[in-house]
Structure 1
Amino acid sequence: MRLSTRIALGAALLVPLLVVAAGLLLLPLVNADLHRRQDSRLNDRAAAVLPSARALLAADSKGRPKAEQNQQRKVMDAALDAGVRVAASDGTLLLVAGAQPDDPQLLPTTPGQAVTLRQNAEDLRVLAVNVNSGAATGTLWVLAPADEPSEELRAVRRRVLLVALVAAPLSGLVAFGLAERATLPLRRLGRRAAALDPRTGHAVFAHARTGTAEVDELSGAIALLLSRYEEQAGRTAQALDTARAFSSSASHELRTPLMSLRTNLDVLAAHPDLPADERAEVVGELQQDHARMLDLLSALSTLARGDLVEVSAFGPVDLAELVAAAVAEARRRHPEAVFQVELPSETRVFGWEAGLRILLANLLGNAAVHGTGSPAGSPAGSPADSSTGSAPAAVDVRLRVEGGTARLTVDDRGPGIPPEERAAVFHRFHRRRDSPGSGLGLTLVAQQAALHRGSVVAADRPDGRGCRLEVRLPLLRPDTPTVQLPAVRDWLNGDERH
């Protein structure tokens, strides 16, 4: 059933009920008004009769029959159509005329108060008045039929019922017309929503305000739903692209180590009597290929996490504390390397804690691996890369606050990076020809720096031979504790528009 029809039926039922309810409340008020009007007429009639009633009472007390008869006629003339009853203080009836009660004992004795006497023949409205004529006293009763108010009340009831019967169809028609007009914007909105193609996005659902609050709210809710749908569809598409890129990169990069594994396994299978030293060499190559595949899959997985992370994962983080923890972990992983650390007491940024740990682990791992002496001009690679220098790596880690930025520098004393290759070291799979690593270590550093609206650059060590990697991240601002993720995040596909 349409909403306008429901409203019309509701009005057609509700309005007559309201009319009847109003009539039920009105009838006691009308009854009271009618009684007051009748009591007013009784008081006027009593006031007109009272002088003659005093004279009647005085004539009776003085024993003057002719004067008494004369006053009786005057009382009846003044009473007109009202019933009259006059009695002396000793109970002697001096006059009885007009409508009278079936039982005179029911007559009220309280003066000035009108009451209704209920009886079989006719209900009477009675007013008692004290009569005082010198030494003689008595009571005057003025009576009138109480049926007249009842007739008027019945007329009011009939009119109320008539109004209720007429109001039912009229109110239904009026309510239907108003409801049709009121729901017109809602029907238009429904037709627009029914014809909407969700693939076109929420921008096509531009809403012009109708002035009807409910319709505007519903339109805004639909537009918000569409925007969330579009956002979720974008996330799903991005996740699918990331999965495809992961599969493509893994299959491409794993081809070489898998072929090497197959070759070495075939050698072991074909030559069970291989000398011990040659067997050990083949097993060593198998272990290296296995480690390289693990590093590659782990790095690709971490890169995919960075491509899919949401703003809800970000929060206030103490960068100094994370650096201290990362240095402790690097010392455990690279016990041969020497780390010098300079940190402030606290440096708070708004970041993804897991992502910052990835950034620090790869920075320190890269410096520990490539911070030893090696042939000049060799580029740095990933944390899994190795060099041939014999001297232990020396790594200097410093975190400083400069204005609204946290500046982290990691210096090593390795061969450094040629200027022409400093941008390329942050690209996917960039590594030295003899490096067994995945070539994704510094790519992960660049990805996390971009996610945090920061930057990372490679340069020469300021005080001598070596490499410096410098990361800048914006500090936490209490007035804007949030972060805006880059519009393009496609590090697995090698998109460099970050």
Structure 2
Amino acid sequence: MKWRVFPTGRMCSLRRALLLWLVPLFLVVGSVAAALAYWSYAQMVGAFMDDQMQQLAGAIAANQGVQPMPQTTERIQKWGAYVVQVYGADGHLRASSSAQVKVGLLPQEGFHDVAEGGARWRVYTVPAAAAHGERVQVLQSAGFRDTLAAERAGAALAPVLLLLPLSLFILWCLARAMSHALRDIARQAAQQDEHHISELPLQGVPQEIAPLVLSFNSLLRRLGEAFATQRRFVQDAAHELRTPIAAIALQLENMRQDVQCDAAAGRYAHLQAGVRRAQRLVEQLLRLSRQEAAGADGPAIVDLQAQLRESMNTLIGLADQRNIDLGFVGPAPASGPLTLHCVPGDLRSLLDNLIENALRYTPTGGVVDVRLLQEQGRVAVEVVDTGPGIPQELLPRVFDRFFRVPGTNAEGSGLGLAIAQAAAQRCGLALTLRNRADRSGLVARVEALA
């Protein structure tokens, strides 16, 4: 079985691991210290009290006729007063400082531990006096000795017991600070994306965690280089393809007059449509690479209505070419401008792709409406067309790159909605598609996230 420093599941945490290991250690150390302190003071009290008993017994034995001072039960049990017993040569009790103590004369001299009448006693018996044969016996409550040792040990451990909770609190604060440092590193790492990749700062990072941050920075550098290489490849490929495809399109245009028969004209039309699709694919690839490299532009406050009108003015030529009614529906001017905080290039790319998609897939003579809405304090844009719509089961796939709805005759590369989705995510917007309920057509809705 593998030994684990960190527990599994929810308990797998630096803070919990520190507390799980160190708190029991503190408690064990505190318990051992308390036991050692009690044992040490018990030995010290015992030795001191035994010496006092021995001196008292010797003094009484040397002074014949001295009567022991009477002691009450309270003084004996609570204050540790000595009980002195004097026995005659015949072994009978001649004098005692407490009649309640029933411990008899012990046959052997020296120290003894005796239990009598539910109480424990420490007893010292001196040998018979040479002159008169009297024997003296001194007793003391063993419970008093235990209590005195516990009190002295408690007084010595009081600072330790007070410092133990403080130490645990400091340990908890330290573990919390360590976890916060790790969370700060995780938060900075989570802010990285393919457009903003920067190394994590090492200021304030604990030395034990610094190698992890350095390794992560090395990974971020390689990742940034990989993204840059990918963007350069797409740009270079698109640029290299642009010139030969344009040359092919020009040659096709020059061949138009040489195509006479109907069969050749049909094949010529198919070839020309394929070249146009290739041209559009190259344009979309260039737009995609420029959009992925546009992260260097910082976010700004953008007037959404002005941006919509600019995108519509750019695409009005396509609408006229296809005889499509392109209209705009917005709030009253008195309501003031509706703004978004995002990268202007991303917002422009998002709106251009949605409007262009609607124009390309709407049949000739159709209608495309661009609506600017403000609902419950949130801004939304809807692009509504009168095209064929999208089968409900294919709606989740239309944001995939190079995916095209089967059976469509409109020119396209399958990149427009993927570009729009990526731009919406960078702007902090939600892009959704749904089929119209009143007639055929599609509604592309862009709204600010809650």
Please classify the TM superposition score into its range, dividing by the shorter chain length: 0.3 to 0.5
* Structure with greater Cα Rg: 1
- TM (norm. structure 2) is 0.44
- TM (norm. structure 1) is 0.40
